[in-house]
Structure 1
Amino acid sequence: MGDTPRGPGELLDLLLPHSCGGCGRAGTAWCADCAAALSGPPLRIRPRADPGVPCWALAAYRGAPRAAVLAVKEHFRRDLTKPLGVAMARGLDHLRDTARPLVLVPAPTRRAAARARGGDPVTRSAIVAASWLPGCRLVRMLRMRPGVRDSVGLGHSDRQHNLRGRIIVATTRPPGVLFPANAEVVLIDDVLTTGVTMCESVRALAEADVTVRAVLVTCAA
């Protein structure tokens, strides 16, 4: 009845109707079926390059999880940050020792890639995950040196050469300041392919006297 004024969000929905980031279903940004694909207990994975700590994934890199990761990274679907972060929080809740503080360290990304994507989607999802878990905090302390190439299309040995020595700790603050006593440190990423990034990240953290307890990724390729 009558012409009810519409808010900016409603007008945007009329111009750009929602579609599910996992399956493309119209009318929702993230449907219940796709959410279910990331809701189970994390899967233990064993990458070709072993970082020396247990590695876990919420799902295999196919179907809805793969589509959601690509939508965030390549199609600027920032609306998927929350559901992916919540799925990460649930996975962490399966793995963590609730008697100990939990610290999430996002895997580093190339600065050029972060600029192209309007920020780092891994860190955004990790922030959401940390906000959902009691006794959890996020510490951003890893970065890539200049000169790292995009890893898409690189084989295992090329990935090793590309990243060897190029992931570093980007803070001079001591671990005792950044991490609560007895904290469990978990490395977070979106996709684990060969494990080279995790190996270099664990190495860099170990050199800074930070012990990583586990790796958790959204998808295992």
Structure 2
Amino acid sequence: MDLLLPRRCAGCGDPGQVLCGPCRERLRRPPVRVVTPVDTHVPMWSLGPYAGTHRGVILAMKERGNLAVRSLIGPVLAAAVTHLQARGELPDRIDAPVPLTLVPAPTRARSARLRGGDHVTDLCRAAGLPVTPALRHRSTVRDQVGLDAEARRRNLAGSVELRHVPTGPVLLVDDVVTTGSTLAAAAEVLTAAGVTVCGAVVIAHA
């Protein structure tokens, strides 16, 4: 199959590997604090801008059916969490007796089915950290592509529901943040249920 359809890097498109060496190196950069037009209510960190390698791997996971790259981005997420814990920006096992749990941002059920499963949940599981898919969108939510910050906020108002109540501190995870509306709605629902939301990490910010 590699002779007929050469494997290409999810980050840059070069033939040979699922994720080439230079793209792996770009993904090693430490997370940076970012802010969005909509207040997410919690500190948020991004692994890079939505361009180049970061954009490539997100599109590969999300739109191109590349399931293999999900397992490779999981350890990148885990390294980011460890880095933030070492800097004292996220609780570690010393700060909190209950381990930090990853909570994937909600997605539409139809979108997840078309993508071969929820890619954000998959990469959270590949990180090797505790994961609780606690959130989901109600069926009334429409696709957010093309909506501005206010329209996204209206679209998500009251449309994120809690499936399970996580125990201990949680960290929200998403692939890309644009306006912050999704993460804000997720943080609001979790906080209302008495959950401690320590922050959010995204693979890229637009």
Give SS of 1:68's match.
Answer: helix
Distance 1:15 1:103 in 2: 42
Give SS of 2:12's match.
Answer: coil
Distance 1:88 1:193 in 2: 19
1:69 matches 2:58 = yes
Distance 1:143 1:166 in 2: 8
Letter in 2 for 1:156: A
Superposition deviation, residue 211 in structure 1: 1.4
Give SS of 1:76's match.
Answer: coil
Distance 2:33 2:14 in 1: 30
Superposition deviation, residue 184 in structure 1: 3.1
Q: Could you say which residue in structure 2 is the equivalent of 1:189?
A: 174
Q: Could you say which residue in structure 1 is the equivalent of 2:115?
A: 117
1:80 matches 2:69 = yes
Q: Could you say which residue in structure 2 is the equivalent of 1:170?
A: 163
Q: Could you say which residue in structure 1 is the equivalent of 2:139?
A: 146
Superposition deviation, residue 127 in structure 1: 0.3
What is the aligned-residue identity percentage?
Answer: 40
Kept in 2, the 8 Å contact 1:35–1:83? The answer is: no
1:105 matches 2:103 = yes
Count of residue correspondences? 197
Distance 2:162 2:169 in 1: 18
The C-alpha deviation readout for 1:141-185, integer Å capped at 9, x for no partner, is 1011111111111111110111011001013xxx4xx42xxx431
Kept in 2, the 8 Å contact 1:19–1:27? The answer is: yes
Distance 1:59 1:82 in 2: 19
The partner residue of 2:196 within 205, 208, 211 is 211
Kept in 2, the 8 Å contact 1:17–1:27? The answer is: yes
1:22 matches 2:11 = yes
Higher helix share: 1
Give SS of 2:143's match.
Answer: coil
Q: Could you say which residue in structure 2 is the equivalent of 1:6?
A: none
1:40 matches 2:29 = yes
Superposition deviation, residue 34 in structure 1: 0.7
After TM superposition, the structure 1 = structure 2 runs for residues 91-102 of structure 1, keeping only pairs within 5 Å, are 91-96=80-85, 97-98=91-92, 99=94, 100=96, 101-102=99-100
Q: TM-score, normalised by structure 1?
A: 0.86
The C-alpha deviation readout for 1:13-54, integer Å capped at 9, x for no partner, is 233221100111111110111112211110100111112110
